[in-house]
A and B are shown apart, each in its own frame.
Chain A
Amino acid sequence: MNPAKTIGERLAEAGVSRRAFLKFCTALASMMALPPAAGPAMAQAIATRERPSVIWLPFQECTGCTESITRSHTPTLESLIFDLVSLDYQETLMAAAGHQAEAVLAAAMKENFGKYLLIVDGSVPLVEDGAYSCTAGRSNLALLKEAAQGAAAIICVGTCSSYGGIPRAAPNPTQAVPVSAVVKDRPIVNVPGCPPIPVVITGVLAHYLTFGNLPELDPLGRPKAFYGETIHDRCYRRPFYDQGRFAKTFDDEGARSGWCLYELGCKGPVTYNACATLKWNAGTSFPIQSGHGCLGCSEPDFWDRGSFYRPLAAADWGSAKTVGAAAAAGVALGAAAAWAARRRQDRFVKEAAAPADRKPEG
């Protein structure tokens, strides 16, 4: 690939008109809550830049994140990601295999040292020196440490690389950790979701290309533009929540009328993501719209936060056993206190009944 050409030239070669690209940038700008004028400025900035080298490393993952972005409908915003970057290494998508693939990786890291973007999907297992997940005989851990050294920034795609995800679920047999637990000295942006919304990945890249830095992040390292609000904040079923109208089962009248899914375990109120506004499959729908509560997949440890079908309000108060033990302890304490009080009474009564035994006062 010849990275010397600008993105604008490449897009033109690929048959993407200036108008279509402008539309794409305007749409991205509005998604990122930038002012309307930012769209053309973005288009201008991106078109004149060279495509950055991108190295995509898959670690302990299910390839769902890659599927999410590659299976999205074309031509859409998300598919443009492949025109914006020079994707130099991506095991699932590249034609090369075996030693050739490894040679491509080594060359890309060397040629663009300090400049390439590193995209990671999947968590990093630590146990046994990372032996639970290896590529070409090298552990993910070793590969990440090496690749991170020359990365201008790291984009963690998916909940696994962002927070450990499903591999990290209790009892976490591989001691899986997120990228941020291994790499401390590089800018990292988390794009969580299981999988993440494809256009969010594109949005982060477009921001990087336009402004040369990473977007503003929330305390969990997510771009605020996409993860600034909860699903519940923007959910179209929210009016039903406010009115107190809730589906009780997945097939009752309430469910059919589109009432709120809170009672059926929806985690929308505590989940920061853009599903309710950007939606999936070219803006067709998102889980809540298709009748299922939000699982909270873009939040850390979402797999271990209790059943997906248990209402959020049903906090973990214990069990009949723990409450029974507390009750038994309370009754025993109460009985002991009463017994002590009775003994004191007895002593009083005894003393009162035998005044002669008492020494005269004074």
Chain B
Amino acid sequence: MDLLAFARGPGMQWATAIFVAGVLWRLVGVALLRRKPDLSAPRVAAKWKGLRLIVLRSWPRKEFLGGTAFTEVMGYVFHIGFLVALFFYLPHVLFFADVAQGLLGVTFKGVFGVAWPTLPGGIIYFASAVSVAALIAVLVHRLVNPVKRLISNFDDYFSWFVTIAPIATGMAAYSHIGAPYQTLLALHLLSVELLMVWFPFGKLMHAFTIFAARGSTGMLFERKGATL
């Protein structure tokens, strides 16, 4: 079995299984934890309003703007570029469509009446390049900023690596740079698999927890009468 066959077959199967099991382990583990009883009387009746925090926390407060603007902007640039490449590049969409078909027996078109839109390769390449540049910028910032460097651990650096690797290998595969296409495609798939395997166990898990965490914190604050 060659590298590509491994990456497309057993490698992908194991990575998918570990990803699914790991994510559910983390989510169920947190969801079933016993909450600390809050014995004080609620200050506000509609604590649901606290969900606003999900949105409010998505940009910096004015007071901190000077200190966090760079990280925030780069964070947005990276995430948008990454998500564009992930969800609007046809081969990726075909992969997700195949998974949806296999798990739920539905196609996007079958449910919504239109096919999932895709973007030309050039735009995807540009989005990926921007994303890589932003990732490099935040790494440099992390390394030169003494406070950030102090609070960074293996998880931060490794999560950064497994994030940039699929984008970089994907770009190399798209433009056939550095090795035969099959090798590049295999490396791209293997890097995605590494990302999937690491995902539930490191900080990348924030993709699944961030909004729930903000929401529950917001509700707690609201209940206590704090200004959001």
Contact = CB atoms under 8 A, between A and B. Distances in A.
Interface stretch (A111-119, A186-194, A304-312): A304-312
A243 B90 CA distance: 11
B90 A246 contact: yes
A338 B120 contact: no
B121 A243 contact: yes
Interface of B: 2, 4-5, 7-9, 12-13, 16-18, 20-34, 90-92, 94-95, 97-99, 102-103, 115, 118-122, 176, 180-182, 185, 189
Contacts of B7: 315
Contacts of A102: none
Interface of A: 230, 232-233, 241-244, 246, 248, 262-263, 269-270, 272, 300-301, 305-306, 310-320, 322-323, 325-327, 329-331, 333-335, 337-339, 341-342, 345
Contacts of B21: 326-327, 329-330, 333
Given A313-B98, A335-B29, 9 more contacts: A233-B176, A244-B90, A270-B185, A322-B13, A325-B17, A326-B17, A330-B21, A333-B29, A338-B31
A310 B98 contact: yes
B24 A320 contact: no
A317 B103 CA distance: 11
A341 B35 CA distance: 11
A338 B12 contact: no
A26 B120 CA distance: 39
Nearest to A338: B32
Secondary structure at chain A's binding surface: helix, strand, loop or mixed? helix
B25 A270 contact: no
B94 A331 contact: no
A334 B25 contact: yes
Contacts of B102: 317, 319-320
Nearest to A270: B182
Contacts of A305: 5, 8
A244 B121 contact: yes
Contacts of B115: 248
Contacts of A337: 25, 28-29
Contacts of A230: 181
A342 B181 contact: no
A314 B90 CA distance: 11
Which of A310, A311, A325 has the largest number of chain B CB atoms within 10 A? A311
A262 B24 contact: no
A314 B29 CA distance: 31
Nearest to B121: A242
Contacts of A300: 2
A188 B180 CA distance: 22
**Which has the most chain A C-beta neighbours within 10 Å: B18, B29, B118, B185?**
B29
Given A230-B181, A311-B91, A316 B25 contact: no
* In the complex, the 7 A-B pairs of residues with the closest C-beta atoms, listed nearest first: A334-B28, A330-B24, A338-B32, A313-B91, A314-B98, A330-B21, A326-B17
